[in-house]
Chains A and B, each alone.
Chain A
Amino acid sequence: GENVEQHPSTLSVQEGDSAVIKCTYSDSASNYFPWYKQELGKGPQLIIDIRSNVGEKKDQRIAVTLNKTAKHFSLHITETQPEDSAVYFCAASANAGKSTFGDGTTLTVKP
């Protein structure tokens, strides 16, 4: 089955800096890659997603890039703010099948 590895497990940045979280997947059939943000005590919230027919997608300060050949995708957050502090999960799925999640990255943005 699919295996998703996420790095780093923790990330601390200064407010205003950029943050990058990387994920690799094993199943070449995977074609959908969502990213979730989980704030303390809440459920994961979808923040951005990308499909395999697209190499990059941007939404304001958040962007996701996908390299199908290398089987990895990354989340980029620019101009980080304290409210970006949360746990971020990547996921991968193939043909509307169930998603496999990474283990999460705890992002801390220091004011």
Chain B
Amino acid sequence: DSGVTQTPKHLITATGQRVTLRCSPRSGDLSVYWYQQSLDQGLQFLIQYYNGEERAKGNILERFSAQQFPDLHSELNLSSLELGDSALYFCASSVVKGDTDTQYFGPGTRLTVL
């Protein structure tokens, strides 16, 4: 158990809908990352937040947005969903030690768009 929690575990919805995925980082971690993993694919970096501020952006679609709240939990919002958005979505939280940043992953949310 990494200490990172994600809800819900599974989500089934229809095309055109909007969903919100939630992530709670490990206690004390200020950074939250979001990744998308499609079937048999690698980890595609979406976005990083650090202490409430956006720090880095990857291949995140304009239909997707995220935020990190004062209590450090983060939400990933996916709107106008398409079939191709079906994937596993992981968040990771990290602790910076000196000049390295170790990420710990949550169990993921499996999104199915029908």
Contacts and interface: CB of A to CB of B under 8 A. Distances in A.
A25 interface: no
Contact of A96 (B4, B100, B106): B100
Contacts of A97: 56, 101
Given A31-B100, A49-B102, A93-B101, A103 B42 contact: yes
B107 A43 contact: yes
Nearest to B45: A98
Contact of A42 (B98, B101, B107): B107
B102 A101 contact: no
Given A43-B2, A43-B90, A103-B42, A31 B108 contact: no
Nearest to A99: B103
Interface string B37-55: 0000111010010000001
Interface of A: 31-32, 34, 36, 42-46, 49, 51, 89, 93, 95-104
Interface of B: 2, 4, 33, 41-43, 45, 48, 55-56, 58, 90, 92, 96, 98-108
The 3 residue pairs across chains A and B that have the minimum distance between CB atoms: A43-B105, A32-B100, A96-B101
